[in-house]
Amino acid sequence: MKITKMETFVVPPRWLFLKIETDEGVCGWGEPIVEGKAHTVKAAVEELAGYLLGKDPLDIEDHWQAMYRGGFYRGGPILMSAIAGIDQALWDIKGKFHQAPIYQLMGGACRRRIKVYSWIGGDRPSEVGEAAARARAAGFTAVKMNATEELQYVDSYEKIDQVLERVAAVRASTDAQFGIGIDFHGRVHKPMAKILAKELEAFRPMFIEEPVLPENNEALREIARASRIPIATGERMFSRWDFKTLLSDGYVDIIQPDVSHAGGITECKKIAGMAEAYDVALAPHCPLGPIALAACLQVDATSHNAFIQEQSLGIHYNQGNDLLDYVADPSVFAYTDGAVAIPEGPGLGIEINEEHVRRMAEIGHDWKNPLWRHSDGSVAEW
């Protein structure tokens, strides 16, 4: 079997899909994307296609190593996201070729379902209490919210109080056992992160996410000393080498590699295994489309330390098209009692509605994240 064609589709709301075809009629789908850089990643996929065309798609590990090590410059969001989407599509082909879900080809499942959480509040969190109550009524047992708007390196206690009021509203509208993930989104610098982490303890959140930017991960030491809340990070880290120091330093409790950014199923399975050796939990990052979610669920199925999965249904980014719009059978992602079953179909376990993909690709998108500024005119972290 040989790879004969690789085709990319820029589709709304902010995604990039990849279809890989073979001479035996078996095709696979992947989701190589950096939010806000879809066309850049598309170009990277097209460059890598020059190596892959004519190759056997089943030699996944060798292709991964060639795409990564075959270039003098390695890593980073663009290359690793391009590799990630290709890797997903190759695994999809391999599963379909063997008529088995991907997790069976990676040793089999250690779970049949996994807890999921719902996003609430949007970029500038508001009315989160009501949103959490709606999520609970819909059957979710956990939510995630942005903690803050923009914060200066040293900001006011008024901003701290606003965060506490929002989290208090979520806790009051749910119950004591309801999971609350609080995403600092890299918007918070070390001086304020230490204060927030300590003040939030009273609400017993599930975790605080990316309390500082990943380039400032050394600050996690001080934040961990200031608070007993589990610390999660990793969505902006792109390989096992990026995670190596984070894990060995011992200040992270939950890692969040993104299966569309961190080298795909092949690499994220290795990252998950590294984390398990450090007694660190896995909660893959995935505010993306259905292919990315299906790939995450295959990794979750085989990773003992996976405990919850992000998913994008109803997220504020999904304007015009949502998670289920591109799959032929939306029931594959049916959420029951706050959890989703691992797909049992061959490959990724989902069937893409190719007609809808092609129709939406004619519309495309040029999504960019907002550029925020502080009141003094300086650029703020979004």
285 is catalytic: yes
pLDDT for the residue 320: 85
What mean pLDDT do residues 118-132 have?
Answer: 94
Instruction: Answer whether 327's CB lies under 8 Å from 15's CB.
Output: no
Pairing of strands 231-233, 15-22: unpaired
For 195-223, letters b (16+ CB in 10 Å) and e give bbbebbeebebbbbbbbbbbeebebbebb
Total Cβ atoms within 10 A of residue 376 = 7
Q: Report the chain's mean pLDDT, rounded to a whole number.
A: 97
pLDDT for the residue 147: 94
pLDDT for the residue 89: 99
Instruction: Answer whether 289's CB lies under 8 Å from 17's CB.
Output: yes
Give the model confidence (pLDDT) of 233-288 as tens digits. Answer: 999 999 999 999 999 999 999 999 999 999 999 999 999 999 999 999 999 999 99
| pLDDT over 90, % of the chain | 98
Which pair of structure tokens corresponds to residue 347?
Answer: 């490959």
What mean pLDDT do residues 91-112 have?
Answer: 98
Give the model confidence (pLDDT) of 307-364 as tens digits. Answer: 999 999 999 999 889 999 999 999 999 999 999 999 999 999 999 999 999 999 999 9
| pLDDT over 70, % of the chain | 100
Instruction: Answer whether 75's CB lies under 8 Å from 238's CB.
Output: yes
Catalytic residue among 63, 261, 285, 365: 285
Give the model confidence (pLDDT) of 136-179 as tens digits. Answer: 999 999 999 999 999 999 999 999 999 999 999 999 999 999 99
Collapsing DSSP to helix, strand or coil, 217 comes out as: helix
pLDDT for the residue 319: 87
Catalytic residue among 185, 316, 356, 374: 185
39 is catalytic: no
Half-sphere exposure of 164 toward its Cβ, with a 13 Å CA cutoff?
13
pLDDT band at 92 (very low <50, low <70, confident <90, very high): very high
pLDDT for the residue 115: 98
